[in-house]
Amino acid sequence: MKHQPWWRRPLIGETSAWEKLKEIFFKPDVPHEQILEHDTAMQEAEKLANVIAKFDSLMILNLFY
């Protein structure tokens, strides 16, 4: 059996420390279309939150007048 450095040896099972670190820190790239879709959804959510906040403040004002 060939000697391997500690980072190439399996931690638990058959996965080495290097493979575990790659799984944690190196994530696949997100497609540009999904980023645009996310940004659009967040903008719509922000607009909706503003409408709800205005409606809520009007409801509170109506309670006191």
* Number of domains forming the structure of the chain: 2
Cβ pair 17, 7 in contact under 8 A: yes
Looking at the structure, do residues 24 and 35 belong to the same domain, yes or no? no
- pLDDT tens, residue by residue, 52-64: 998 888 777 676 6
The token pair at 17 is 């420390």
* pLDDT exceeds 60 at position 1: no
Whether this model's pTM surpasses 0.85: no
Cβ pair 15, 21 in contact under 8 A: no
Full residue range of the structural domain in which residue 62 is found: 31-65
Give the pLDDT band (50/70/90) at residue 2: low
The token pair at 10 is 């399996």
Looking at the structure, do residues 23 and 35 belong to the same domain, yes or no? no
Looking at the structure, do residues 47 and 62 belong to the same domain, yes or no? yes
Q: What is the pLDDT of residue 62?
A: 72
- pLDDT tens, residue by residue, 12-49: 777 777 788 888 898 888 999 999 999 999 999 999 99
Looking at the structure, do residues 14 and 44 belong to the same domain, yes or no? no
